[in-house]
Amino acid sequence: MRMEKIVLEKVCWKVKATTAFQFLQLYYHSLIQETLPFERRNSLNFERLEAQLKACHCRIIFSKAKPSVLALSIIGLEIQAQKCAELTERVGCLQKHSKINGRDLTFWQELVSKCLTEYSSNKCSKPNVQKLKWIVSGRTARQLKHSYYRITHLPTILETVP
């Protein structure tokens, strides 16, 4: 792995994984720009789709989903909710083009639907601050305390205005 890192640094590769957010943008723009007429383009709200994706990312189970499947699941559910019949066929085309299995899409759509239902319910409210405190053993606390004092503090670099 060290050699791989050295090679990547030498050849200046910028290797990044494609995220569900990037697929969401890609699918959204492909659906909206190519399918819907100008006056109907506000029927799907990208900010709402993004918020739904963020809600899903709060659950560990969605880390196992392929980004393309998760993005298409969210868009597919939103299209069903908005009753945009003209986009339903286009989602099928995106599914085929992205080589997404129908069973996988259905499985993740069910999980997304369940997650969003729970997220919008009263069950999902402001967390109890008391429960969010770190509890560590005395031994761990002593180790953390000593490691804090080993940190060398660097001097502040003054900024000059050109």
How many Cβ atoms are within 10 Å of 142's Cβ, its own excluded? 11
Domains of the chain as residue ranges with CATH: 2-129 (1.10.472)
Q: What are phi and psi of 76, to 5 degrees?
A: -60, -45
pLDDT at 131: 54
Please check the confidence at residue 145 and state whether its pLDDT lies above 70.
Answer: no
Q: Distance between CA atoms of 24 and 56, rounded to whole angstroms?
A: 13
- Residue 16 in tokens: 């990044």
Asked which of 25-39, 44-58, 94-108, 127-141 is least confident by mean pLDDT, the reply is 127-141
Asked if residue 133 has pLDDT above 70, the reply is no
Angle at 85 between CA 83 and CA 86, to 5 degrees: 135
pLDDT score at 6:
81
Is the pLDDT reported for residue 108 higher than 90?
yes
Whether residue 126 has pLDDT greater than 60: no
pLDDT value, residue 106: 94
Pick the range with the lowest mean pLDDT from 3-7, 17-21, 54-58, 89-93: 3-7
